[in-house]
């Protein structure tokens, strides 16, 4: 079974650093892009960025560039999202998702087919 | 950048009724880059439709997607109790992934 298992909930203070994780299993981790999606309380989905674990090629949403760092350790099939200095506005649920760039009959299809259950991050003094 | 606008914001319907959800792109997009997701309270999103009209694995055939250019539609032919949720459309283009703001389908 293809799965993404995320690390547990975090409670942090403003200014602290944090790294959350997403471990893939049941598929070839290095061959698929994996990314992060933020959902602030009561709000919609916001795409943050993706990484290709095979070569660590990373892309960010302009909204999140410089605010977070996405990385991966292919030896343990795990992707990471990290902050160097958290703010209260980082309080949210963070989902990892496998991003598909599928070539079917000369066309490319783009979608997120497997999601982790989410990691709640609470930043409060 | 492409902006996706979903309407209505909330749809109040009864079980057994038909739901029609709209996703409008700010400019013409390829239908192969348009997907739909369902999110129930306390759960992660789930892929329903990709390529504007292809159901994902395990998705019941009461869910269908259609559209092209700037206008896309998700239709649920007969609402089941488990279909009451928030639905998001998503686009990929120019290295950016974008979501609509969501449509909530609630029990009337």
Q: Does A94 touch chain B (CB under 8 A)?
A: no
Asked if A35 and B97 come within 8 Å (Cβ–Cβ), the reply is yes
Q: Where are the beta strands (DSSP E) in chain A?
A: 3-6, 10-12, 18-25, 33-39, 45-52, 57-60, 69-73, 78-83, 92-104, 107-115, 119-123
Please report residues of A whose CB lies closer than 8 A to that of B37. Answer: 45, 112
Strand partners, A59: A50
Residue A43: phi and psi, rounded to 5, are -115, -175
* Sole residue written with tokens 């959350």: A20
List the one residue out of A109, A102, A92 whose CA is nearest residue B36.
Answer: A109
**How much is the average pLDDT of A5-33?**
98
Distance in angstroms (rounded) separating the CA atoms of residues A6 and A98? 13
Give yes or no for A3 touching B (CB within 8 A): no
**How far apart are the CA of B92 and the nearest CA of chain A, in angstroms?**
6
Q: What is the structure's pLDDT at B41?
A: 96
Tell me the DSSP string of A39-59: E-TT--EEEEEEEETTTTEEE
Asked if B92's CB is within 8 angstroms of A113's CB, the reply is no
Query: What mean pLDDT value characterizes chain A?
Result: 97
Residue A48 C-alpha, separation from nearest chain B C-alpha, in angstroms: 9
Give dist(CA A18, CA A83) in Å, integer: 5
Residue B71: predicted pLDDT: 98
Tell me what the pLDDT averaged over chain B comes to. 97
Condensed to tens digits (0 to 9), the pLDDT of residues B35-84 reads 999 999 999 999 999 999 999 999 999 999 999 999 999 999 999 999 99
A13 CB near a chain B CB, below 8 Å? no
Q: Is A7 helix (H, G, I), strand (E, B) or coil?
A: coil
The 10s digit of each residue's pLDDT in A16-28 is: 999 999 999 999 9
């Amino acid at each position: 079974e293809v799965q993404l298992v995320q690390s547990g909930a975090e409670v942090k203070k403003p200014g602290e650093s944090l790294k959350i994780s997403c471990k893939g299993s049941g598929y070839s981790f290095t061959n698929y892009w994996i990314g992060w999606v933020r959902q602030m309380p009561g709000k919609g989905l916001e795409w943050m960025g993706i990484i290709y674990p095979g070569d660590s090629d990373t892309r960010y949403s302009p909204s999140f560039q410089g605010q977070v760092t996405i990385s991966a350790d292919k030896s343990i099939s795990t992707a990471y999202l990290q902050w160097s200095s958290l703010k209260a506005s980082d309080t949210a649920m963070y989902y990892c998702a496998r991003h598909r760039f599928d070539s079917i009959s000369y066309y490319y299809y783009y979608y997120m087919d497997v999601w982790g259950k989410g990691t709640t991050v609470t930043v409060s003094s | 950048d492409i902006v996706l606008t979903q309407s209505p914001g909330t749809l109040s319907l009864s079980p057994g009724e038909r739901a029609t959800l709209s996703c409008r792109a700010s400019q013409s997009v390829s239908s192969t880059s348009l997907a739909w997701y369902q999110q129930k309270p306390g759960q992660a999103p789930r892929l329903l439709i990709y390529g504007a009209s292809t159901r994902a694995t395990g998705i019941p055939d009461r869910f269908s997607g259609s559209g092209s250019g700037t206008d896309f539609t998700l239709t649920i032919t007969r609402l089941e109790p488990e279909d009451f949720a928030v639905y998001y459309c998503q686009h990929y283009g120019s290295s950016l992934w974008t979501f609509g703001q969501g449509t909530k389908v609630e029990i009337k």
